[in-house]
Amino acid sequence: MPRFKDFIELHFIVFLWGFTAILGKLITIPAVELVFLRTLIAAAALGAIMYKRGTPFWLGQANLFKIMGVGLMISAHWILFFTAARISSVSLCLVGMATCSLWTALLEPAFTSKKIKLHEILLALLILMGLYIIFQAETEFNNMLGIGLAVGSALLGAIFTIINARLAKKHPSTTITAYEMAGACIGTALFFPIYIELFAQGGTLNFSMNNMDWFYLLVLALVCTVYAYTASVRLMQKISAYTMNLTVNMEPVYGILLAWVIFNEDEQMTSNFYIGAVIILLSVFVHPVLDTYSERRKKLKQSFPEEVAVRKD
């Protein structure tokens, strides 16, 4: 069972993830090169930590390919995420990411034995309504493309979070994250030829960074990746994937507040954005109430099935 300090740590991790969009916009190199360096540094740091702690490296060939395959999804997830923040705004990108709970509610029953809960679907539909309001207000192509990329990033995020929730019950969190970062780094490198041919400005990779870029990158790789992702995988041993992703909906709150302070993004947002964002974030606060009620009713039904049946009549 999760303890109160586990939820506090989870919210701190989500705050760090809200900060990643800020760092991604502050670092001047393109998104693909950024993801490559982030995952390379993170994989190397995690490998060093595992060596120092004496954590086993080998998990078996089947597990190795499975975990590194998740890393490929993480690579695509981050490339879409940082590209969305660059071409539109941090705020729109983070609101699109809040659809993680929608995708999790729809996909988790397909990966696990968990039954679909009506209130999770209703909250997911509430998120869709918020997104519709935001999309309706956006007329600029970059903003619409940006939020579309963010929603795609959220879909991938939901999938690998569900998979990680299962992996975390079998393997050490540090080992899982190390292999996933290595897989993401290799996946990004394999994407380079296509990227250079079709998307890279000037048809070449750009790794030119100043001192502040390196500082931001190290914070992104070591604090927001090595610590945050290792800790999140560890917490998945106690917290469900849906609760994890619903809490991640707080990422836009933290990120948008930071964007207001750093980039003055409040000047760029329409009233429809705030209406849609409030509707989306409302699901975060409503979920624990509905989940608690659902669990209590389930226990009551198991303890007093006949009494519950009478009450329903």
pLDDT digit string (tens) for the chain, length 313 residues: 667 788 888 889 988 988 898 999 899 999 999 999 999 999 999 999 888 888 778 777 888 888 999 999 999 999 999 999 888 888 888 888 878 877 877 788 877 777 777 877 788 788 778 877 877 766 666 778 888 999 999 999 989 888 887 887 788 878 888 999 999 999 999 999 999 998 898 899 999 999 999 999 999 999 998 898 788 878 877 787 667 766 776 777 788 788 888 887 665 667 787 788 788 778 766 766 777 777 777 777 766 555 544 444 4
Give the separation between CA 30 and CA 213, rounded to whole angstroms: 12
Structural contact between residues 300 and 308, judged by C-beta atoms closer than 8 angstroms? yes
Give the separation between CA 222 and CA 177, rounded to whole angstroms: 12
Q: Where are the domains of the chain?
A: 4-312
Structural contact between residues 282 and 126, judged by C-beta atoms closer than 8 angstroms? yes
pLDDT at residue 208, as a whole number: 94
**Residue 277 Ramachandran class (φ > 0 left, ψ -120 to 50 alpha, else beta):** alpha
Give the separation between CA 131 and CA 279, rounded to whole angstroms: 9
* Residue showing tokens 């509905």: 290
Tokens of 95: 């609101």
Give the separation between CA 187 and CA 75, rounded to whole angstroms: 7
Give the separation between CA 175 and CA 186, rounded to whole angstroms: 17
- Name the DSSP class of 117: P
- The burial class, CB within 10 Å (0-12 / 13-18 / 19+), for 227 is middle
- Smallest Cα–Cα separation from 248: which of 169, 182, 160? 160
Torsion of CA 50, 40, 256, 76, to 10 degrees: -110
Cβ neighbours of 223 (radius 10 Å): 14
CA 248 to chain CA centroid, Å, is 7
Q: Residue 232 in 3-state DSSP?
A: helix
Q: Collect all residues with Cβ–Cβ distance below 8 Å to 72 and sequence separation of at least 6.
A: 183, 184, 187
Cβ neighbours of 127 (radius 10 Å): 27
pLDDT at residue 216, as a whole number: 96
**Residue 264 Ramachandran class (φ > 0 left, ψ -120 to 50 alpha, else beta):** left
pLDDT at residue 188, as a whole number: 96
Structural contact between residues 117 and 196, judged by C-beta atoms closer than 8 angstroms? no
Give the separation between CA 86 and CA 101, rounded to whole angstroms: 24
Give the chain's length. 313
pLDDT at residue 134, as a whole number: 75
- Smallest Cα–Cα separation from 286: which of 124, 48, 110, 80? 124
Tokens of 239: 């917290």
